[in-house]
Structure 1
Amino acid sequence: MIGQTTATPVGHEPLITRYRGLICDLDGVVYRGAAAVPDAVETLNRLTADGVPVVFATNNASRSPEDVGDHLRGLGIASQGWSVVTSSQAAAAHLAHHLDRGTRVCAVGGPGIARALTEAGLTPVSVAELGDDQVEAVVQGLGFDVTWRELAAVGYLVQAGATWVATNLDPTLPTPHGNAPGNGVLVAAVQAAAGTSPHVVGKPRAALLDLARSRLGTSRPETLVCGDRLDTDIEGAHAAGLDSLFVLSGASRLRDLVFAARSQRPTYIAADLAGLLTPGLPLSSTASGDHTDSALDAALRADSTADYGELLQTVVATAWAALDNGRAISDDPDLWGEIERKLGLVPQLEPRKIT
Structure 2
Amino acid sequence: MTGEITTISVRAEPLITGYRGLICDLDGVVYRGANAVPHAVETLNRVTADGISVVFATNNASRPPEDVESHLRTLGVAPHGWSVVNSSQAAAAYLAKRLGRRARVCAVGGPGVAQALTEAGLTPIRVADLDDTPVEAVVQGLGIDVTWSELAAVGYLVGAGVSWVATNVDLTLPTQYGEAPGNGALVALVQTAVNAAPHVVGKPQPALFDLSRFRLGTDQPDTLVCGDRLETDIEGANSAGLDSLLVLSGACRLRDLAFAERASRPTYVATDLSGLLAPGLPVPTSSRELLVELTDAVPRVPHRGDNGKLLQAVVTAAWAARDDGRAVSDDVGIWEKIERRLGLVQLDQAR
Q: TM-score, normalised to structure 1's length?
A: 0.90
CA distance in 1, matches of 2:33, 2:332: 25
The alignment partner of 2:346 has SS state of: coil
**Larger relative strand fraction:** 2
Q: 1:174: how far off?
A: 2.5
The alignment partner of 1:204 has SS state of: coil
CA distance in 1, matches of 2:348, 2:314: 25
Which residue does the alignment assign to 2:225? 225
Contact kept, 8 Å, 1:167 with 1:201, in 2: the verdict is yes
CA distance in 1, matches of 2:240, 2:299: 36
Q: Deviations over 1:4-52 (max 9, x none)?
A: xxxxx98111101111100111111111221111111111001111110
Q: Deviations over 1:188-212 (max 9, x none)?
A: 1222222100000111222112211
Give 1:175's aligned amino acid: T
Give 1:331's aligned amino acid: D
Which residue does the alignment assign to 2:303? 302
* Structure with larger RCO (C-alpha < 8 A, sep 6+): 2
Give 2:71's aligned amino acid: H
Question: Following TM superposition, where does structure 1 have runs of at least 4 consecutive aligned residues deviating by more than 4 angstroms?
Answer: 285-291, 294-298
CA distance in 2, matches of 1:327, 1:107: 49
CA RMSD, Structure 1 to Structure 2 (Å): 2.3
The number of residue pairs the alignment matches comes to 339
Which residue does the alignment assign to 2:345? 346
Q: 1:103: how far off?
A: 0.9
Which residue does the alignment assign to 2:234? 234
Which residue does the alignment assign to 1:328? 327
The alignment partner of 1:84 has SS state of: strand
CA distance in 2, matches of 1:31, 1:229: 14
CA distance in 1, matches of 2:229, 2:97: 29
Contact kept, 8 Å, 1:295 with 1:314, in 2: the verdict is no
Which residue does the alignment assign to 2:152? 152
Q: Does 1:37 align with 2:40?
A: no
Give 1:265's aligned amino acid: R
Which residue does the alignment assign to 1:113? 113
Q: 1:291: how far off?
A: 4.2
CA distance in 2, matches of 1:236, 1:31: 21
Q: 5+ unaligned residues in a row in structure 1: which ranges? A: 1-8, 351-355
Which residue does the alignment assign to 1:203? 203
Contact kept, 8 Å, 1:286 with 1:321, in 2: the verdict is no
CA distance in 1, matches of 2:74, 2:348: 19
Which residue does the alignment assign to 2:6? none
Which residue does the alignment assign to 2:100? 100
Q: Deviations over 1:74-124 (max 9, x none)?
A: 000000000011111110011111112111111011110000001111111
The alignment partner of 2:325 has SS state of: coil
Q: 1:298: how far off?
A: 5.0
Contact kept, 8 Å, 2:27 with 2:173, in 1: the verdict is no
Q: 1:154: how far off?
A: 1.2
Q: 1:177: how far off?
A: 3.4
Q: What pairs up with 1:263-302 in 2 under 5 angstroms?
A: 263-284=263-284, 291-293=293-295, 298-299=300-301, 301-302=302-303
Q: 1:292: how far off?
A: 2.1
Relative to structure 1, the CA distance from residue 94 to residue 286 in structure 2 (aligned partners, 3 Å threshold; closer, same or farther) is: farther
Q: 1:345: how far off?
A: 2.2
Q: 1:159: how far off?
A: 2.0
Relative to structure 1, the CA distance from residue 349 to residue 282 in structure 2 (aligned partners, 3 Å threshold; closer, same or farther) is: closer
Give 1:317's aligned amino acid: T
Give 2:303's aligned amino acid: A
